[in-house]
Amino acid sequence: MPKTDENEDTAVIYTDGACSGNPGPGGWGVYLKWGDHEKELYGSEKATTNNRMELMAAIQALEALKRPLPVVLYTDSSYVRNGILTWMNGWKRNGWVNAKKEPVKNADLWRRLDEAAARHEVDWRWVKGHSGDSGNERADKLAVQGRDEAAGRR
C-alpha cells in the first residue's frame, strides 16, 4: 500500500482492542485526529476475543470518516497489520480459506475492514503497545473503558 505523508488533509488514527479472557468481555478504542479536529470512539461486546476487538477498532475508525481521505492508521496489533497487508489477498483469492485449508477466523470482520479500507488511502503502521506513545495510550484507555463496561464494571 502507498505510504502517506501526514499533512493537514491526512487523518491520523490510533486503534486498540482489549479483552478480559479470550473469549470474554471486550472493548475497542479509537483516537482520531484530522486537522484541528479530534474524536474518541469506543464500544464493547460481552463475549468476544482480543483479535475481534482489534479488528473492530480499525473498522469503526475507518467507517467514522465521512469522506475518502489519506489515513495513517496506527495499531499495536500485528494480527491486524499483517492480515490487511500480507494475508488478505491470499484469503480472498482462496475463497476465505487459510493456508491450512481452514476457514479464515473472523472473516466477517476482515471483509468489513477490507471494504472500509478500500474507501481510503491507508498507511498501516505498527506501534508497540504500552510504550508511552500518547495516541496508542489514548486508544488503549478507550478500549479498556469499553471492556470494563461490557464486564459491568462501570
Residue 6 within a domain: no
Q: What is the pLDDT of residues 94-145, one digit of tens each?
A: 999 999 999 999 999 999 999 999 999 999 999 998 888 999 999 999 999 9
Q: Which of 26, 43, 76, 120 is catalytic?
A: 76
Residue 94 within a domain: yes
pTM of the model: 0.93
Residue 53 within a domain: yes
Q: Which domain holds residue 47?
A: 11-150
Instruction: Summarize the confidence of residues 69-94 as an average pLDDT.
Output: 97
SS (H, E, C) the chain: CCCCCCCCCCEEEEEEEEECCCCEEEEEEEEEEECCEEEEEEEEEEEECHHHHHHHHHHHHHHHCCCCCEEEEEECCHHHHHHHHHHHHHHHHCCCECCCCCECCCHHHHHHHHHHHHCCEEEEEECCCCCCCHHHHHHHHHHHHHHHHHCCCC
Catalytic, 120? Answer no
Say which CATH number the domain at 46 has.
3.30.420.10
Specify the pLDDT at position 149.
94
Residue 146 within a domain: yes
Q: Which of 27, 43, 45, 54 is catalytic?
A: 54
Catalytic, 140? Answer yes
Total tally of structural domains belonging to the chain: 1
Catalytic, 114? Answer no
